[in-house]
Structure 1
């Protein structure tokens, strides 16, 4: 499997599609601060072990003075904020609605590029932005513009705020791809420290119940740990543009799991919102590919 970029990418996609159902399962017995911190600790161990196996003794790549690792540290803070936002959303709102708002990040990448890097959106990206905005409006209104909300007044802001953090993280990731494996180690180290600081300040860090350990290990090792390594290797060995487009399978699979196993209500408005979110993301990504 390690020799096939497509197999590696699909493994990561399937792992990420489990974020929503595993989050809803874990948050029954854990607060989201504890869930993120302990998962990050386990991810650090898993990714660190993978680096130790693959680095061939060159531990100097982990030097904190390297600029690429410093960029990865900043990305780690954003990674923590991203997960805090979406975990909070999954705890208090409909999972499918949160999922659609979460996947506004490709649209936000285009907005950030236009505002901060003065990159003018292409016609396709403009269409993608329109689709993304419509997806969120239709989703949060349940198809009725007079009813806006995700079931909680702050849920929309938290989820979209998390998506914004992920969009910035995605832009920053270009600057540590020269040694993405070492960068990923630092990303999880910084995310762990940030989640510890935020969780401790909120009084949300404690020992987890024994029944939650299997979910924590699954989330830390596979979903938020080794999947990053698989994705990085897939991008390095395969066609990065085509492989990146596969990420839009994630919300489709996540929706399937939520409806099948958690009996989440799936309104017609969610189907429209999901289609628009997928279309918007693909148009934005295709615009980036055309420019490069």
Structure 2
């Protein structure tokens, strides 16, 4: 297979993953009208786990999965407690309190949070581009969360914004720790979902959410588990393995929040707020500056 063909396939796989990710905010918005965050997470986690185990079975890696489950159960439990358990509980809480377009836009600042958290954890140094990107991104967050009324500093839903920002901290923390994870990526993800499942069931039982399910929300939760937590990961991994230019594939992620707003307006009935568009533009500009600076540094090496 020629390199051109491999790169073309990588872009197609990457676009597939991005298209799936762009629909998730809509699925969250619709499902959370009928299910609690815990119920949604329980269903999605179970579906994703079944999908990943089936995939590993097809690939003939079940023995390897069981082997890693035995020898790395502590790290699997630890990572699973962070993601999907804690991360998605916090993120879904934000989605239940904010318009989905606002929650997903704020959640995209996790890359900036990751840069700042990498300083104490990985002993990395910040560049001027990181500060510029942070200013642009968090100005965007402020603009979104105040619905454009920055001078008043009156947040549309302060608690919801706090949950959305906290989700970026948890996600960044997870990926920084993930750099030291020695498990194969697909097996590690599967084990995370497997060890998180009992935690979610216990929480659902403790809060009385194992009963009184509304069928209207189930299919959305199944969709999230299958596509957001399962298939999209496989497609994105495949894209990164095929491409000779990871930055080119990574830039596709900028399409996701823009497409997401379109799907929310068309299928979830959310009117597109001008404050979200302006704030999102600031966030994407900040992320672009950060990515551009990283590419420049890579090209100089």
Which residues of 2 match residues 82-231 of structure 1 at below 5 A?
82-148=87-153, 151-176=156-181, 179-206=184-211, 208-231=213-236
2:43 is aligned with 1:38: yes
Q: Deviations over 1:49-83 (max 9, x none)?
A: 1111123564357513556x755543332222222
Q: Determine the structure 1 residue equivalent to 2:276.
A: 270
Moved more, 108-117 or 278-287: 278-287
Q: Does 1:251 align with 2:251?
A: no
Distance 1:286 1:64, change over 3 A: farther
Name the CA distance, whole Å, in 2 between partners of 1:89 and 1:283.
Answer: 27
CA RMSD, Structure 1 to Structure 2 (Å): 2.6
Distance (whole Å) between structure 1 residues aligned to residue 202 and residue 154 of structure 2: 30
SS at match of 1:154: helix
Preserved CA contact (<8 Å) 1:71 1:172: no
TM-score by length of 1: 0.88
| Partner SS state of residue 35, structure 2 | coil
Q: 1:44 to 1:57 in 2, by over 3 A?
A: closer
- Kindly report structure 1 stretches of 4+ aligned residues shifted beyond 6 Å: none
CA distance in 1, matches of 2:232, 2:70: 26
Displacement after TM superposition at 1:254 (Å)? 1.0
Distance in 2, Cα, partners of 1:10 & 1:177: 28
- Alignment: residue pair count: 291
> CA–CA distance in 1 between the matches of 2:90 and 2:290?
23
**How many angstroms does 1:166 deviate by?**
1.2
- Residues 65, 154 of structure 1: alpha-carbon distance in 2 compared, 3 angstrom cutoff: same
- Larger mean CA deviation between 257-266 and 163-172 belongs to 257-266
Tell me the TM-score normalized by structure 2. Answer: 0.86
Structure 2 gaps of 5+ residues are: none
What SS does structure 1 have at the residue aligned with 2:180? coil
Name which one, 1 or 2, has greater alpha-carbon Rg.
2
* C-alpha separation in 1, matches of 2:27 and 2:256: 14
Asked if structure 1 preserves the Cα contact closer than 8 Å seen for 2:31 and 2:218, the reply is: no
* 1:43-58 equivalences in 2 (<5 Å): 43-55=48-60, 58=63
Aligned to 2:79: 75
Per-residue CA shift, 1:144-169, capped at 9, x if unaligned?
Answer: 12444553331111111112111122
Residue 4 of structure 1 aligns to a residue whose secondary structure is helix
Runs of 5+ in structure 1 lacking a partner? Answer: none
Tell me if structure 1 keeps the 8 A contact 2:39–2:210: yes
Q: Do the aligned residues in 2 keep the contact of 1:62 with 1:182 (CA within 8 Å)?
A: no
Using the TM superposition, give the Cα deviation of residue 45 of structure 1 relative to its aligned residue in structure 2, in angstroms. Answer: 0.2
1:4 aligned partner: 9
8 Å Cα contact 1:98-1:150 kept in structure 2: no
